[in-house]
Amino acid sequence: MSVDELREPLARSLVRSQRVGLWSMVVFACLSIGALGLVFTRASIVFATIVVLGVLMHTTDYLLLSGERAANERTLFFYSLWFGRSGRSGLVFWCVVGLGMGITQSVLQHSLGGLEPLVIRFGAYYPAISGGEWWRIVIGPFFHSGILHFLANLSGLILVGPMLWLAVGPWRGVLTFLLGNSAGVLAALVMNVAGHDSYLGVSAGVFALLGLLVTAGMLNPRLLPRGLAIMFAWFAAICGVGAEALPSTSTVAHLAGFATGVLAACWPFSRAIRTPMSH
Mean pLDDT, 10 residues at a time, over the chain (279 residues)? 51 54 57 55 72 80 74 81 86 95 96 96 95 96 94 94 91 95 96 86 97 94 88 92 81 96 80 49
Question: For residue 213, what pLDDT is reported?
Answer: 96
Question: For residue 95, what pLDDT is reported?
Answer: 95
For residue 179, give every residue at least 6 positions away whose Cβ sits within 8 Å of its Cβ, in sequence order, or none: 208, 260, 264
Question: For residue 245, what pLDDT is reported?
Answer: 75
Question: For residue 278, what pLDDT is reported?
Answer: 47
Q: Where are the chain's structural domains?
A: 1-83, 86-278
Give, in degrees to the nearest 5, the angle at Cα 13 between 15 and 232: 50
Question: For residue 173, what pLDDT is reported?
Answer: 94
H-type alpha helices, 67-146: 68-83, 85-112, 115-122, 126-130, 136-139
pLDDT in tens, 85-119: 888 899 999 999 999 999 999 999 999 999 999 99
For residue 76, give every residue at least 6 positions away whose Cβ sits within 8 Å of its Cβ, in sequence order, or none: 3, 7, 225, 277
Question: For residue 31, what pLDDT is reported?
Answer: 57
- Terminal-to-terminal C-alpha distance of the chain: 20
In this structure, which CATH number among 3.40.50.300, 3.90.1720.10, 2.60.40.10, 1.20.1540.10 belongs to the domain 86-278? 1.20.1540.10
